[in-house]
Structures are given as structure tokens and as C-alpha cells.
Amino acid sequence: MNFSTARQVPDDAQVLGVPVFAGRTMPDGAGVDLDLDYLARRKFDGKAGQVLALAADDGSTVVAVGVGEPAKVTVDSMRRAAAALLGAAGDATSIATTLLAAIPPSIDKKAAAQAIAEGMALAAYRFTTYKSEADRPSVETVTVVGGGQAALDRGARVAEAVALARDLVNEPAGAMTPTRLAELATEIAEREGLTINVLDEVAIENEGLGALRGVSLGSDEPPRLIELVYEPAGRSRGTVALVGKGITFDSGGLSLKTADGMMTMKTDMAGGAAVLATMAALPALGIKTKVIGLIPTTENMPGGKAIKPGDVLKARNGKTIEVLNTDAEGRLVLADGLSLAVEAKPDAIIDLATLTGAQVVALGRRIAGLMATNDSLLEQVEVAADKAGEPVWELPLPDIYRKDIDSEIADVKNIGRPGQAGTLIAGLFLREFTGDVPWVHMDIAGPARSDEDDAYLRKGGTGFGVRTLLELLTSFTRPS
């Protein structure tokens, strides 16, 4: 899908998408005057997400796109409106839109244009690798009237990164093994000019990554530790380490999940997928922040050599961990990933992980949970997430619960009290491996996967976190 800008609607556009506010009012610059009485008869009133296709006299199609109340139009409104327009385009190969006419003066026009490209491209996403017949949108060209080309190009590249993360998550676990993930990371690094270092199972043991190694023991598939480095041209804004949980399949280990609980466990590497996809986009976007990406990746299986409840593992930073539940394995591999990140002495660390079912209970399928040791960094992540249209909510790291991970025989244990504050306990556990470096933990257990198509989301992996990370890294400042 190619995006371009124009000052007016091109004559050869097969579909023209025009914005309509709630109450069937049209903004100046919409491009055409619609028959508002006809819209009323068709029960179209301009609510956000509504679309109505109308035949034009020249044989083209005009699509009325509802954008909601004028005062409530946001950048994400543009993203969602563009997705709705794509869905109404039918078999058209060329679309033009005047959606930017609906943005209020308070909204940055470049951000809105970028969002239109993102929404259109993400709505067109389909994972069809294993389909005999693929049903894809036919749109090839999109013209955004009044948009800036640089903003559209950026939106298209961001959407490409999100699509990569979705692809990685949607692949069956039998195909997307830790070894294959490392191979793909190597291919991406070579193509994009990133530095990469991959540790195999021997190096993982030699480097003292005992938690990652321990989780991997039950699987026939060997683990990998993927390290990617992006060096910006010119002066850097600072250094950020990204750590992504890369459990390519989670059976729960000997603390075995139910059959239903395993059905979507290929999604358990969504944090690692988000980190890899983010790293892939940094050179093209010209990000001025140095970024280190760390992805500890393995399967969690109940084989004969699997760790047992009560076993003790030693993480990279020297801390010992009593494993009382082998299904709380994500925090174990992150312990080694975070320890390595601290050794790199970055200005900030951000980890992403489908870490706890409790996060879904607390915040549902659309909102990620954030925990942090630094308010300045937390605010930057929250601002970036808001701009990216990826909802997040701060959760506490209450010291009153710290004693719940005290172990009788090791430094810490990997679970707290059953059924109590599961997401917070996981955050407190991870904090043990972050040293003094400002750190934000993003639990994406809910929003990493969608159970239905909705606007620019497709059922399956969502690529959640990629847009937030790219927005953050673009404007990153060293935390105070």
C-alpha cells in the first residue's frame, strides 16, 4: 500500500472518504457536499466508526466516515476512521480521503496524517501464511489530501513494524521456535544495519543466565538470548535498553496449564516480538536514541529434565530464585534479560511481557499495566502511549507486599500469595533485577492479543507496544 499527499482530490480516485461529524455536520474542506437528508434516511448520524458508501455521478464512490463529536476528535480518531474507510472501500484499488479536514487546531496535523496511514495499513493486515486462499483488501494507493509526505511515510513504516510483530506472534509455535526467532533477528539485523549477538544454549550456561537456562530444560528446543544494538548517527539523546519476554510456547511446565489455557500460548512471546519489531524500524525512522534490545527466548515445557517446583535457579546478577510455580516462568527469563540490561549501563530500561493473567483481570484486553521505579520515565512512557493510541494504566509497586516473595531457602521466590496481587508481585520480583537504573515494566498480557477484529486491530496478535516504543524513543530524554 502506497501513501501520497495532494492538495486536492485526484480525479482518478475510485473511492473518496469524507469526514462527517456527529449530528451529520461536515467540516470545512471535506471536499464534497453530501445530501444530509439522505444520510438521515439511511440512519447515518456521524458517530465515530460509522461508514456509508454513496455512488457518485462519475461512477466513483463517496464514503461518509463518521468521526464523532468535533470536540472529541483525537489522533486515534483519525487512525480508527482510516481503518473504517478501508473496510468500506470494497474492491477499489485507489482511495483518497479528506479526513484531515476534521482535526481541530489543537491536534498536530503531522501526527494526524501519520495516524491515517497507520490505521489504513494496520486495518489491511492479514495473516495468510497457512491459508489456501487469501482474502486481502485490494487497495494499492491512498492519497491523503492536505497531509505531509514525511508523516505518511513514517506512519507506513510504523505500521510495517507492527505488522512484523503481529506476524511473529501469529506464527504457530512449532514454526516460531527460539532458534527460528534468532535466525529472523539475524536476518533483520543484517538488512537494517543493526549489531547482533546471539547466545546459544552453551553460551547461555557459560554466561550465568541460570534462570533462562532453567526454564528451557524441559524442552527439546534450545533457548537463545538475542541482543540487538542500534547506534544512531550523530549525537544520541541517550541510551534505552528494551527487554522482551520471548516464550515461544508456554505449557506451564510441570505446573501444567489446562488445554484451553494453552490454546493461545504462542502469544507468550509478544513482548519479544515487540522489541524485535521496534529495533527493525529504528534506522528507517532515523531515531536519535541508542537502543539495546534483549530478547531471552525459550519454550516452557514439561519434559523429563524440566525444573520442578522447589528447585532453585541462579540469575545473571547472582540472586537465587526458588521456583514454586513453573508457570511463572516469564519473570525468570526476564530476570536474566534485565540483569544484562543493567550491565550495559543505559539511561533507562523498559521491559514488555505477557506476564500475568491478573493483568487481564484488572485491566481487561485493551489496557496494559505499567509499573515503574522512576516517575520521569513513567511519564514519558505514558505520554508516548497516549500519542500512539495504546492505552496504559499505572499500577503500584507496594513495598508492603515485598515480603511475599521472600524465600525460606533462596534470595527470592517466583510467586507470592495465591490469588493476591499477582501483577504487582510480578513487578516487585522484576524490580530485584533492575539495579539503580530507571525502569518501566509493561504487562501486555491482555492487549497483546485480540479476540476479534476491531477498527485497525485484527483477531490474533496485535503488535501492542511497538507504536508506544517508537514514539518514546523518538522523543526520549534522560530521566531525572
387 is catalytic: no
Rounded CA-CA distance 371/166 in Å is 24
Contact 292/341 with Cβ under 8 angstroms? yes
- List residues bridging with 64 in a β-sheet: 18, 52
Residues 404/425, Cβ–Cβ less than 8 Å: yes
CB 124 within 8 A of CB 86: yes
257 assigned to active site: yes
- For residue 413, give the C-alpha cell: 521466590
Query: What does DSSP assign to residue 454?
Result: B
Single out the catalytic residue among 245, 331, 413, 467. 331
Q: Is 297 helix (H, G, I), strand (E, B) or coil?
A: strand
**Cβ contact 252:303 at 8 Å:** no
Q: Smallest Cα–Cα separation from 250: which of 272, 271, 270, 266?
A: 266
Cα(464)–Cα(480) distance, integer angstroms: 27
Separation of alpha carbons 352 and 169, rounded Å = 14
Q: Provide the grid cell at 70.
A: 468535533
Which one of the listed residues 257, 288, 366, 402 is annotated catalytic?
257
Q: What does the alpha-carbon distance between residue 79 and residue 388 come to, in Å, rounded to a whole number?
A: 10
Catalytic site positions = 257, 331
